Amino acid sequence: MIRRSMAALALAVLAGIGASRAHASPGFDFVCYDRDIVASVGLDLEWANAYLQIGGEEIVLPAAGQGNANRDAFAFSGDGLSFQGFAPEGQLTLADGRTARCYQTRNSIKTMALYGSDNNFRWSVYDARGRASGNVRAAPSIFAEKVASLGDGEPVIIRQNTDEFMDGFFWFQIEFGEGETGYIWGALLCTDADMPELNTTVRSCD
């Protein structure tokens, strides 16, 4: 079940969308998530610093060591936090010991939609069972009208990826309640469906 704190953390991430990322290289962005962790990490061009966005704040983590010539191994740490791994995946460890898996967006299915690397790419229609918490909107935007507010881990049917991307997650069309439909930000959504495309863009409920 998605914890109630998930919704609060996701809203905090939304509040930090405007934070400075001038030094980060968008080509080496990572998205990190777990049941109660939503974060993104950008690496500068020299891989000297990692810029962690979490809870509406930006935290700079200096490199703890040098990667190999291909820049696929990395380690950054500071303020009791660490971010390390072997591209395209990594792990974020918070000061309290909680961890979240991280995925490099350039090597994910998300990037195929964002950068158009496959001109024939189309999102599938899923009709997959999932759970969600937080606000449901009339359109895939935080500025759209709120049509409902879901409790902690309410069951939903995930209809389709809208291709609208915000702060590390896509917006999805869902069905909830008694056949009502709306849109929800992917960080507030999880699924247990065994669908590779969906599993790449939505967290597991486990």
Q: Which tens digit of pLDDT belongs to each residue from 121-145?
A: 567 889 999 999 999 999 999 999 9
Model-wide pTM > 0.95: no
> What is the radius of gyration, based on Cα positions, of the chain?
17
Amino acid at 81: L
Handedness of CA 10, 110, 31, 157 (dihedral sign): positive
Q: How far, rounded to the nearest angstrom, does the alpha carbon of residue 101 sit from its chain's CA centroid?
A: 10
Average model confidence (pLDDT) for the chain?
77
Greatest Cα pair distance in the chain: 55
Query: Is there a contact between 60 and 47 (Cβ–Cβ < 8 Å)?
Result: no
Take residue 101 and report the two structure tokens written for it.
Answer: 């898996």
Q: Which tens digit of pLDDT belongs to each residue from 75-126?
A: 999 999 999 998 778 899 999 999 988 877 654 555 444 444 444 556 788 9
Provide the 8-state DSSP code for 100: E
SS3 content of the chain, % helix, strand, coil (to 5): 15, 50, 35
Identify the burial level of 94 via C-beta atoms within 10 angstroms of its C-beta, where 0-12 means exposed, 13-18 middle and 19 or more buried. middle
Query: Is there a contact between 78 and 85 (Cβ–Cβ < 8 Å)?
Result: no
Beta-strand pair 203-204/189-191: parallel
Take residue 38 and report the two structure tokens written for it.
Answer: 């939503």
